[in-house]
Amino acid sequence: MSSPTAARVLAPVGTAGKLFAFGLDVGRGLFRRPFQTREFLQQAWFIASVTIIPTALVAIPFGAVIALQVGGLIKQFGAQSFTGSASVLAVIQQAGPIATALLIAGAGGSAIAADLGARKIREELDAMMVLGIDPIQRLVVPRVLACMLVAVFLNGMVSVVGVAGGYVFNVVLQDGTPGAYMASFTALAQLPDVWIGMIKALVFGLIAAVVAAYKGMNAAGGPKGVGDAVNESVVITFLLLFVVNFVLSTIYLQLVPPKTG
Partner 1 sequence: MGVEIKVDDLTKSFGKQLIWADVTLTVPAGEICVMLGPSGTGKSVFLKALIGLLKPDRGSIIIEGTDIASCSEKELYEIRKLFGVLFQDGAMFGSMNLYDNVAFPLREHTKKSESEIRDIVMEKMDLVGLLGAEDKLPGEISGGMRKRAGLARALVLDPEIVLFDEPDSGLDPVRTSFLNQLIVDLNAQIDATFLIVTHDINTARTVPDNIGLLYHKHLAMFGPREMLLSSEEPVVRQFLNAQRVGPIGMSEEKDATELEAEKDMDLPPLPPIPLQLEPSNGIPRRSQKPPGEWCREHGIDPPPNSFLPSSALGT
Query: Is residue 30 a contact point for partner 1 (CB under 8 A)?
Result: no
Classify the phi-psi angles of 221: left when phi > 0, otherwise alpha if psi is within -120 to 50, otherwise beta: left
Distance CA 211, CA 202 (A): 14
Query: Is residue 39 a contact point for partner 1 (CB under 8 A)?
Result: no
Query: Is residue 123 a contact point for partner 1 (CB under 8 A)?
Result: yes
Q: Is 21 exposed, middle or buried (0-12, 13-18, 19+ CB in 10 A)?
A: exposed
Query: Is residue 191 a contact point for partner 1 (CB under 8 A)?
Result: no
Stretch that binds partner 1, among 72-80, 133-141, 161-169, 236-244 (CB under 8 A): 133-141
Query: Is residue 132 a contact point for partner 1 (CB under 8 A)?
Result: yes
Stretch that binds partner 1, among 105-113, 114-122, 166-174, 186-194 (CB under 8 A): 114-122
Query: Is residue 11 a contact point for partner 1 (CB under 8 A)?
Result: no
Cβ proximity to partner 1, 131 vs 191, nearer residue: 131
Distance CA 236, CA 160 (A): 28
Query: Is residue 130 a contact point for partner 1 (CB under 8 A)?
Result: yes
Please report how close the Cβ of residue 127 comes to partner 1 at its closest, in angstroms: 4
In whole angstroms, how far apart are CA 59 and each of 148, 161, 165, 206? 19, 6, 8, 21
Q: In terms of C-beta distances under 8 Å and separation of at least 24 residues, what long-range contacts does 22-31 make, across chains too?
A: 22/210, 22/213, 22/214, 22/217, 23/210, 23/214, 25/136, 26/136, 26/140, 26/141, 26/144, 26/210, 26/213, 29/134, 29/136, 29/137, 29/140, 29/141, 30/141, 30/145
Q: Tell how many helices (H) and how many strands (E) occur in the chain.
A: 12, 0
Element housing 229 (H / E): helix 222-255
Query: Is residue 143 a contact point for partner 1 (CB under 8 A)?
Result: no
Cβ proximity to partner 1, 152 vs 230, nearer residue: 230
Cβ proximity to partner 1, 39 vs 156, nearer residue: 39
Q: Pick from 147, 152, 148, 137: which is nearest to 113 by CA?
A: 147
Question: Which of 18, 75, 122, 224 forms a contact with partner 1 (CB under 8 A)?
Answer: 122
Cβ proximity to partner 1, 11 vs 251, nearer residue: 11
Please report how close the Cβ of residue 147 comes to partner 1 at its closest, in angstroms: 18
Stretch that binds partner 1, among 71-79, 121-129, 233-241, 251-259 (CB under 8 A): 121-129
Please report how close the Cβ of residue 138 comes to partner 1 at its closest, in angstroms: 8
Residues that bind partner 1 (CB under 8 A): 118-119, 122-124, 126-134, 138
